[in-house]
Amino acid sequence: MLFKGCPAKDIIIEIQDYSGVAGTRSQIACDSLSDHAVSTIWKWLVVRSDVSVGPGRKYNELSLQKLLQSSNAVAHGSDSHDERAAVVCRHTRIESASENPAPIEFSAMNVFVSEDTMWELITGHTVNYKRVPGLEWHLLLGIASTKSQGILQGDLGRLVGQDKRSVPKRTDSLLKKGYIVKRTTLVRGTKTSKLWLKSFAPPLTQKGDNQKLECEEQMNITPQALTANLDQVPWHTRWTGESMDFHALATTIMAVTKEWHVIRLQDLKAKLGVLGLRWQMKIVSKICRFLNSCGAIQYVAAKLDNKVYKDCIKFNRSLSTKDWSAFLATGKRSAKPARPDPEWQADLSQVNGSRLRECHPWTVDEPLPHKIIECAQYFGVIGVTNPEIYVLTLGPTFNRYVSSLTSCMANSNVQPPELAHLQLISEHIRVGKVASYKFCTPHASQMGVLPEMQESLKRFVDSSSHEAQVTMKQEHEDDEESSHSLLQTCLNSN
């Protein structure tokens, strides 16, 4: 791997910063310290064996003035060295040795340190790729390059060229090992994480039940400031700017609610300065729901001037350490239980439980197709349906798989002639309004249909003969009655 190092000009600016003099990244030269003082510190730096100016300590012997003159000449001779490129070059970049490297002129004057020194400064221990794998180490380099500014998790993946789906898992691992600090933030309406090296992370909380900010001096959380009026708090830019400080927002919500005891959500949003800001109002509502779920606040209705307001919240208690940990946690939440499949619920109504108790349930040691054939043979001409096979085998989770399997087994070409007795036969049936298929084997079908046909024929013959006898008897009676009537008519005429 090839590390691009840091330009000498940025090292000079860092010297100014750490000397107690305010310096900015856009400065080219610093007049706060004398040239002699800066040169002396530079000499202390380059004399170290683990510091290299240029590849292989090529320029360690050059004085600071000559080095700056050479780097200025290279910078003026290149069109790509604008201010934007200079900002990018300040970050530690990693490139594969097999890729096309950048021109030597751009990085020849950069300052490098040995790998052992980087590990000592970033992790606090010597090189250990078992504890910190290579890909996690690259992420650490990217995080360390941003120092106290921190870096968003998405930007980190692009900086080091890693898959965005793998970066969250690796940063979680670095967080558990104690190398970095990871905090929830909101950027462009999207919840994400911001990362710092542990030594550069801004102060957040002090240990204690109240979990107050160390930087509360900048946030004037006093009863007078919070209850004097409903004007937005001066530090509202922490959550109305490009990114959102979730901890500061939740702390302010709790402080305002505590001082007012009961307050309307609309007034709370006005105090926070988020009225009319769509994403911020959604986040405030979401935080209030979390606070309500953990019992810190409560949704209530309040009466003022004979008018009832139902969009109010009431302060119950301060947040505990456990509450803060749950609130600031990043990553995936626990999955909700899956909803029951409506198809499976509909199929379940077709299952005859009393009939299925007679058949043994399937075991994992038995081939599934063999069990399906066994069920079809067991139930004979009645057959077995897919929902009943689900119950006897894999359950509703694999209903599509079982349905596909039975359809394939019912294909007429699936079994060779010598295994024709194991061929499934499917028949379309309808139970009420639900259409389904029942499956049986050829032998069971033949053995079951013939007795039924014989029984039907017998019933038909019996009923036909009975009807014939009744008809003949009726005709005989009619003939006798006709003869008797004719005889009576003749006698009367005589």
Strands (E), 55-115: 94-95, 111-113
pLDDT tens track for 345-378: 444 444 455 555 666 777 777 787 777 777 777 7
More confident residue, 134 or 59: 134
Task: Tell me the average pLDDT across 192-207.
Answer: 74
Evaluate if residue 184 carries a pLDDT over 70: yes
pLDDT at 27: 41
Q: What fold characterizes domain 223-324?
A: Arc Repressor Mutant, subunit A (1.10.10)
pLDDT value of position 188 = 66
Contact assessment for residue 200 and residue 176, using Cβ atoms and an 8 Å cutoff: no
Residue 478, pLDDT > 70, answer no
Higher pLDDT among residues 232 and 30, named by residue? 232
Is residue 3 predicted with pLDDT exceeding 70?
A: no
pLDDT recorded at residue 418: 74
pLDDT for 473: 59
Strands (E) located in 120-189: 151-152, 180-187
Residue spans of the domains in the chain: they are 1-113, 115-202, 223-324, 342-440
Both structure tokens of 492: 């009367």
pLDDT-based confidence at residue 288 (cuts at 50, 70, 90)? very high
Q: Please determine, for residue 425, whether its predicted confidence score (pLDDT) is greater than 50.
A: yes
Cβ-contact 117, 50 below 8 angstroms: yes
Same fold flag, 115-202 and 223-324: yes
pLDDT score of 108: 60
2: alpha, beta or left? (left if phi > 0; alpha if psi -120 to 50): beta
- Is a pLDDT exceeding 60 seen at residue 330? no
| pLDDT given at position 457 | 39
**95, 101 contact by CB (below 8 A):** yes
Q: Quote the pLDDT of residue 469.
A: 56
Q: Is the pLDDT of residue 112 over 70?
A: yes
Per-residue pLDDT tens over the stretch 48-105: 888 888 777 777 777 777 777 776 655 555 444 444 434 333 443 433 333 444 443 4
**Residue 470: predicted pLDDT:** 54
Low-confidence winner among 11-15, 52-56, 79-83, 130-134 (lowest mean pLDDT): 79-83
Topology of the domain covering 115-202: Arc Repressor Mutant, subunit A (1.10.10)
- The answer, yes or no, to whether residue 164 has pLDDT greater than 70, is yes
**312 vs 411, which has greater pLDDT?**
312
Q: What's the pLDDT score for residue 106?
A: 43
The predicted pLDDT at position 206 comes to 43
What mean pLDDT comes out for the span 334-344? 49
Q: What is the pTM of this model?
A: 0.46
| pLDDT score, position 346 | 42
pLDDT of residue 299: 92
Contacts 24+ apart (CB under 8 A), 189-195: 189/279, 192/152, 192/153, 192/154, 193/152, 193/153, 193/168, 193/330, 194/150, 194/151, 194/152, 194/153, 194/243, 195/143, 195/150, 195/151, 195/152, 195/153, 195/156, 195/171
Q: Where is pLDDT greater, at 472 or 53?
A: 53
- Percent above pLDDT 70 for the chain: 64
Higher pLDDT among residues 257 and 327, named by residue? 257
Q: What is the average per-residue pLDDT within 134-138?
A: 91
* Average predicted confidence (pLDDT) for the chain: 72
pLDDT at 105: 47
